[in-house]
Chains A and B, each alone.
Chain A
Amino acid sequence: MSRPVRFNIHPIEAKISDAIGNAPAPEGYGGDGFFTARLSDVVGLARKNSLWPLPFATSCCGIEFMGTMGSHYDLSRFGSERVGFSPRQCDLLMVMGTIAKKMGPVLKQVYLQMAEPRWVIAVGACASSGGIFDTYSVLQGIDQVIPVDVYVPGCPPRPEAILDGFMKIQDLVGQESIRRRNGEQYKALLNGYGIE
């Protein structure tokens, strides 16, 4: 059952004087045009607004992440609508929660399966440094096994803090040189962790 249309039933004729983009270009300057930018900027822009995170949620910070993914704090406005659980398909490894020594090899294996370029964000105090658990069974920070780009402190960090960390990752991604992953410094960094 359709209602009668009430609005916009007298459409206005388009007039040439209203349109601002319509002025003809001077002789010799017309055509499609081009835009100069650095390749790394454009690639960075594309990458940073479509990061696919892998939520490696082990404990309490994982529940705050679920809150961040919810509609109130909404991570998907930053381009991370699709979270993946397969490391082969993801760019950003978000480690949320305590990593015990038993879990360390598993974390390393997940990291190794990710394809370049990959970033790691350590969410929460436990992932950054072991947190309040200074015990024999907890890995005192995931940077003992994998290289980390951004650390988000908090126990658990508020969703705003997680989003702030995510935005810092976006800054890193946007400004990264496209030759970084092939360079000597990066290789040395990975070798420091025993990764070839």
Chain B
Amino acid sequence: MAIDNQYLQIKLTEKFGDLVFNFEDSYGMLSFEAPKEQNLKVLQYLYDEPTLGFQFLTDLCAVNYPDDKGRELAVVYHLHNLQTNTRIRFKVFTSIENTDVFTASKLFSAADWMERETFDFYGVNFVGHHNLKRILNVDEMDYFPLRKEFPLEDQTRIDKDDEMFGRG
């Protein structure tokens, strides 16, 4: 019996007031935003509150919006309440100069590697993480590959004819 999105919105605005905003219903899932300093408080509230009970972290990832100045990187949390089968999406935005976000790995052990992967791909610095190192790429890499500014292909290939691939 899924919790109604309206109810979720009311509970959140009751507790956090103006700090939660941008409520959207995307294909049945409620999605909202909060400032990045509040992310742990919101996650803790969603975890502890008995009527909400979002105690399962489904996913943690980041998105790069290069055109939104001051809000280039978004960290997206997908939470799930297994008993009532409700899902919710929670976003925090951070700018590309100062990418500090508080870590959720104390609350959810699942966030441990997901935050390392997000750091590896986008450079989001999770404050308080016990082992924030690169996980999937080579350790010597010095840039964050999934940001939109960097290319997909390996730049050191000399045998590929760019003219034939339309990139000439």
Contacts and interface: CB of A to CB of B under 8 A. Distances in A.
B145 interface: yes
Interface stretch (A55-63, A76-84, A130-138, A179-187): A130-138
A111 to B, nearest CB: 19
Nearest to A105: B138
Interface of A: 101-102, 134-138, 140
A136 B145 contact: yes
B69 interface: no
B157 A136 contact: no
Contacts of B145: 136-137
Contacts of B138: 101-102, 137
22 contacts: A101-B138, A102-B137, A102-B138, A134-B152, A134-B153, A134-B154, A134-B160, A135-B152, A135-B154, A136-B145, A136-B150, A136-B151, A136-B152, A136-B153, A136-B155, A137-B136, A137-B137, A137-B138, A137-B145, A138-B154, A140-B154, A140-B157
What 5 A-B pairs are tightest by C-beta distance, nearest first? A102-B138, A136-B154, A134-B153, A135-B152, A136-B145
A102 B145 CA distance: 15
Query: Helix, strand, loop or mixed for chain B's interface?
Result: loop
Nearest to B151: A136
Interface string B133-158: 00011100000010000111111010
A140 B155 CA distance: 11
A136 B5 CA distance: 41
A133 B160 CA distance: 14
Nearest to A134: B153
A138 B157 CA distance: 11
A108 to B, nearest CB: 14
B91 to A, nearest CB: 27
A133 to B, nearest CB: 10
A98 B69 CA distance: 38
Given A102-B137, A134-B153, A136-B153, 18 more contacts: A101-B138, A102-B138, A134-B152, A134-B154, A134-B160, A135-B152, A135-B154, A136-B145, A136-B150, A136-B151, A136-B152, A136-B154, A136-B155, A137-B137, A137-B138, A137-B145, A140-B154, A140-B157
Nearest to B152: A135
Contacts of B151: 136
A115 to B, nearest CB: 29
Contacts of B157: 140
